[in-house]
Structure 1
Amino acid sequence: MNQVREEFNASSGLRNAQVDWALNDDERAAAITAAALDQLQRMAEQTRQRTEQAMLSTYADEDDLRQVFNERRDVIDNNLRTSAYNVASLRSALVALLGAAGDRELSGGKVPDKDAAAITGHHARLQAQQRLQASFEQQRQALDGEIETTLQRYCELKGVAPAG
């Protein structure tokens, strides 16, 4: 029963179906995965089509679309400037704390636990701010790529040459 076979209509004698073999667990899992991937691809294509249609109906021309991207770019650039200021400020404070701790040790004293904890805390905040800054830089690079591809696609859909 678990073999590939053809079924025939009893009255006409014509083939009316083909039955595949029963799938094992691995084959079933692979089939489910393939079906899910196919569904995701269809959904992504539908989303892309809706996005393109919305883009065409929302923006009268390329300049309108560029203005939206410029606003997004300005927000990210502001985040980058703020992050750079925070990194510099935290680094300066950490250098001052480390300098004071170093001077204390050089004079034969012990760095108080409170100061050591402050150094550790500042260092952790500096590292977190540096990660945030790197994230903003990645967002900025990704946005530049998105701007380029979106403007090209917009011009293709509108049938016009990019303004440059």
Structure 2
Amino acid sequence: MPYSNRILIAAIAIGLAALAGSGGLHAQTKTGAQKKIYCWNEGGSKVCGDALPANAADSARTEISTKSGMQTGQVARALTDAERTAAALAAETASKQAEADAMAQRRDLAMVESYMTEADLRRAYGERTELLDETLKASTLGVTNLRLSLLALLRQASDREMAGEVVPKSMTNTIRGQHDELLRQQQILVAQKKDRAALDADLQDAVARYRALKAAPGESPVATTGASAPSSN
């Protein structure tokens, strides 16, 4: 074999050997880096080992590198079914709250963009207040008329009984029907009064938010005076 060929073959052989040695060292380093010591609590005592037994798979543990002796990880214990359910409910609650907060921000932004002045805001609430006040008047009048009509029927029925007469079934049915309707209208009136009070509270809250949003940076919003929207009363 010519001298030049022998040199070429030797160079190739040395290169291959160096490459193989490099790969082997890399693999060994990689394997060594992956080896860990696991430490967990078992029966109130700390236990460590290079393998994690099945009964400790759900336990909280610390992972330590065998190469550096340094902690490389911390794994929390697995949650119980009850804890997972509670965590899911908490996440759902937080998500709903975040959605509500975002909606409130959009509402406040729309309020500021819709009303140039506080007077405009109060005027808009005033229209709703007047409408609700008119509804309350009509409902109150209706309840009063029903009560008077029912009292008149009861008086007629009482007079018949005092005279020894039989109260007609039609009258009894009318009395019962008007009594039920009176109860229903009274419940409606109570609900409407609650809506009216809630509208006043909503106005004060809206005014406070409006002033806070309109205040220049660094300024404090003007305190709410408690003035309500115009009423038809």
Q: Does 1:104 align with 2:160?
A: yes
Q: Matched residues in 2 for 1:5 and 1:39: separation? A: 31
Normalising by structure 2, report the TM-score.
0.64
Q: Matched residues in 1 for 2:147 and 2:63: separation? A: 77
Q: Matched residues in 2 for 1:83 and 1:49: separation? A: 36
Q: Matched residues in 2 for 1:124 and 1:134: separation? A: 16
Q: Which residue of 1 is the match for residue 204 of structure 2?
A: 148
Q: Matched residues in 2 for 1:113 and 1:7: separation? A: 88
1:66-114 deviation digits (Å, cap 9, x = unpaired):
1110011011101100101100111111111111111111111222222
Q: Matched residues in 2 for 1:148 and 1:30: separation? A: 37
Q: Matched residues in 2 for 1:67 and 1:11: separation? A: 75
Q: Which residue of 1 is the match for residue 194 of structure 2?
A: 138
Distance 1:115 1:73, change over 3 A: same
Q: Matched residues in 1 for 2:110 and 2:65: separation? A: 51
Of the three residues 58, 63, 69, the one matched with 2:114 is: 58
Q: Which residue of 1 is the match for residue 151 of structure 2?
A: 95
Q: Greater relative contact order: 1 or 2 (C-alpha under 8 angstroms, separation 6 or more)?
A: 1
Of the three residues 110, 132, 135, the one matched with 1:76 is: 132
| Number of corresponding residues | 164
Higher normalized helix content (fraction of residues): 1
Percent identity for Structure 1 against Structure 2: 36
Distance 1:27 1:57, change over 3 A: same
Q: Give 1 or 2 for the bigger CA radius of gyration.
A: 2
Structure 1: segments with no counterpart, 5+ residues:
none
Q: RMSD of the alignment, in Å?
A: 2.2
Normalising by structure 1, report the TM-score.
0.89
CA apart distance, 1:17 = 4.7
